[in-house]
Structure 1
Amino acid sequence: MIKRFALLAAFLATLVPATAQDLPEGFVYLREIDPSIAQDIRYASSHNFIGRPVNGYEAGECILLRSAAEALSEAQAQLRQLGLSLKVYDCYRPHRAVEDFTAWSKTPEDGVTKNEFYASYEKSNLFKAGWLASRSNHSLGFAVDLGMIEAGSPEAERPMGNTYGPCSADKADRAPDNSLDFGTAYDCFHENSYTAASDIPPQAKDNRGLLKSVMESVGFENYRREWWHFSLKDAPSRREPYDFPVGPYAGGSGETGENAPANVATGPTVRVVCVPEDNMLNVRDAPDTEANVVSRLPAGQDGVPLIGCNREVGLGAWHELSRASGVIDDAPWCTVALPDNPETTGFVSGAYIFPSSGGAARCE
């Protein structure tokens, strides 16, 4: 555009937050397509490698091209059958954010985030080393950074000002995250972040393999140096990056990112299984068979909101493996909300609940 009023309008548009009504054509908020996908948009927070919210992130929201968002929803449907969920860390990225990374890399090292995110590098070398780039598919709307969580598990708290261990350390020694173990944390500038890295736990390798397989099945391809980064293969040919800000979702609650409340109305649900028809499933006030019973759910009850479980294993996968082996005494404890009173929660054994969309449970 070269006309003065058009230029002025474009400039003013960068000064107001993006909403569901003013996204460029073809873009959508992910929560419009699939609100069950967890969002932990790190660049809208201070827990990232530059230690503060990144320019252009005015809200912790995932925005993508519709084709990419719909493909993610297809992947989510596959994982839901295993009691798992996708969790996105970054989606569309304004070009001004990429420029912010460049400017940050040229400032003197202050050591605030180095030990956690890039201990083996100098910040001035992160572009040369290939961890950062001056252009990104994220700015075209078809790339996403993501992992997997136990469906319904609450986001881990990361208080501002805390310091954490290296992102390449064992999961227990890294910053809190409800993600499954992938061998490193998200945005870890370390060779163990390479998708095919060998020096990571076997379970982490399996988690990477599952994520890669599911994402490839819906049309994404992985970037070999980052287990979390995927780009849609059948993407538009546009090369000029977008630079509109990531603004709050107009149709949402107004609370986004790290402060967004759990929404049991749109989250995963389970049904009561493996309980005789004339019996009830006890809901207790603690994850213990001796704990007080606060309520009971009838056999076959469906649509029970799942808040989370205490182990990194999908309910569907646990039922399949444990029932097949005959070992059912290691079931996870899960927190559920009562269907008729969602504000009341309690604990149930994972041996007696199964994802609502997960097909038939094995109970023999």
Structure 2
Amino acid sequence: MTNRICFFLLLVLISSCKDKPSEEKKPDQVFEEPMETFDSVPLEKPEPQKTFLTFEGLADTTFVRLADFSDGFAYDLRYATENNFLKEKVYDCAECYTRVKTAKALIAANSDFHDQGVRIKFFDCYRPNSVQYKMWEIVSNPQYVANPDKGSIHNKGGAVDITLETLEGEELDMGTDFDFFGKRAYHDMTDLPQNILDNRKLLKETMEQHGFWSIRTEWWHYNLSAGSNDKVADFKWECD
């Protein structure tokens, strides 16, 4: 009996000494690097390109708003303000209208000016004859204001008062302000600094190349030769 007990105990002992099954090894944990995130930045939408009207189908004598055909000009339309020799506002709102043929010549001239780093700046364009009467009531002097009974080329849509400025908006020195009535504003006044003479020459020669002619006493005034025979008009533009 004792031997049986000893044999049984031996079996138990051998069984307990066997290796226990090892725990299943878990694969090493893999930590993925978090993806870098960015705040969403909306893409800037390109500004819609402005489209301009064309002269196709328009008669040369039709009145047009110059800004509808080009954005290459600058404007300081003085008679729509009190900053003029009249010291009164005579336009209801500031707009630059001309006949089609005048507009075509101005755009062509301005293209040449752009090539030289400057552009046309307008002080006055087409002037309705009723406005000419207003001006005559304020200053009834034909030396400064054309008699409205006869009218001027401004009233025909063939004259403009202009200067030049850089493409960055700096006016070129012409020696006097617009509507300065004195000899210093004359084209034949040569007793001026050379840069002023050069600026006036650039303005005059370029405008003449495109069918305009000047008057002796006003460096800013230009008439389209092809517009002198048109009728005096009283077309009025609408104001917003």
TM-score (norm 1): 0.47
* Residue 247 (1) aligns with residue 235 (2): no
Tell me the secondary structure at the aligned position of residue 192 of structure 2.
coil
Aligned length, in residue pairs: 178
Aligned to 1:144: 160
Aligned to 1:231: 223
Shift of 1:236: 6.0
TM-score (norm 2): 0.70
Q: How does 1:93-112 map to 2 (within 5 A)?
A: 93-105=127-139
Out of 132, 145, 152, the residue aligned to residue 145 of structure 2 is 132
CA distance in 2, matches of 1:238, 1:52: 28
Aligned to 1:41: 77
- Residue 46 to residue 91, structure 1, CA distance change in 2 (3 Å): same
* Residue 85 (1) aligns with residue 119 (2): yes
Aligned to 1:191: 183
Amino acid at match of 2:80: A
Instruction: Work out which of the two has the higher radius of gyration on C-alpha atoms and give 1 or 2.
Output: 2
Any gaps of 5 or more consecutive residues in structure 1?
Answer: 1-23, 107-125, 154-177, 249-253, 255-364
CA distance in 2, matches of 1:98, 1:199: 33
Tell me the secondary structure at the aligned position of residue 234 of structure 1.
helix
Out of 206, 214, 228, the residue aligned to residue 222 of structure 1 is 214
* Residue 210 (1) aligns with residue 189 (2): no
Alpha-carbon contact 2:70-2:107 (below 8 Å) kept: yes
Tell me the secondary structure at the aligned position of residue 197 of structure 1.
coil
Tell me the secondary structure at the aligned position of residue 120 of structure 2.
strand
CA distance in 2, matches of 1:236, 1:99: 20
Shift of 1:199: 2.8
Tell me the secondary structure at the aligned position of residue 220 of structure 2.
strand
* Residue 180 (1) aligns with residue 196 (2): no
Shift of 1:152: 3.1
Tell me the secondary structure at the aligned position of residue 119 of structure 2.
strand
CA distance in 2, matches of 1:246, 1:45: 17
Shift of 1:25: 6.2
CA distance in 1, matches of 2:228, 2:179: 26
Amino acid at match of 1:141: G
CA distance in 2, matches of 1:185, 1:247: 29
**Runs (4+) off by over 3 Å:** none
CA distance in 2, matches of 1:223, 1:211: 13
Structure with the larger helix share: 2
CA distance in 2, matches of 1:187, 1:100: 17
CA distance in 2, matches of 1:58, 1:226: 25
Name the % identity.
33
Amino acid at match of 1:221: W
CA distance in 2, matches of 1:232, 1:87: 17
Amino acid at match of 1:27: F
- C-alpha RMSD of matched pairs (Å): 1.8
What are the Cα deviations for residues 167-200 of structure 1, in whole angstroms up to 9, with x where unaligned?
Answer: xxxxxxxxxxx42111111011111111121232
CA distance in 2, matches of 1:246, 1:90: 14
Amino acid at match of 2:206: V
Amino acid at match of 1:201: P
Q: How does 1:1-364 map to 2 (within 5 A)?
A: 26-54=62-90, 57-105=91-139, 126-127=141-142, 130-134=143-147, 135-153=151-169, 178-235=170-227, 237-239=229-231, 241-248=232-239
Shift of 1:84: 0.6
CA distance in 1, matches of 2:216, 2:228: 22
